[in-house]
């Protein structure tokens, strides 16, 4: 094997090592982004659940107020 062929092989091996290193860094970045997105998704699910509960409470309160208003209107009708 000639020296020139060894140098070419060495260059190709070095390029492969560099490519692998870059890909490993990219994988780590993507893992971090994925973890951040998973955390964000969890926070959004919790926020959504809180909003659903708040909405249900407001609906219940609204219904209670409607019933109270109807009761008061009924009393006013009996007075007249």
Domain count, the chain: 1
Which tens digits make up the pLDDT trace of 27-63? 999 999 999 999 999 999 999 999 999 999 999 999 9
- Mean pLDDT in the chain? 95
d(CA 36, CA 62): 38
Label residue 2 left, alpha or beta by phi (over 0 means left) and psi (-120 to 50 means alpha): beta
Does the model's pTM come out above 0.85? no
| Residue 38 belongs to domain spanning | 1-79
């Amino acid at each position: 094997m000639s020296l020139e062929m060894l140098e070419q092989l060495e260059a190709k091996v070095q390029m492969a090592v560099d490519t692998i290193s870059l890909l490993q860094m990219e994988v780590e970045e993507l893992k971090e982004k994925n973890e951040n997105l998973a955390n964000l998704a969890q926070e959004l699910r919790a926020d959504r659940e809180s909003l659903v509960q708040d909405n249900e409470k407001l609906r219940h309160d609204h219904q209670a107020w409607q019933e109270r208003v109807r009761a008061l209107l009924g009393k006013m009708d009996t007075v007249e």
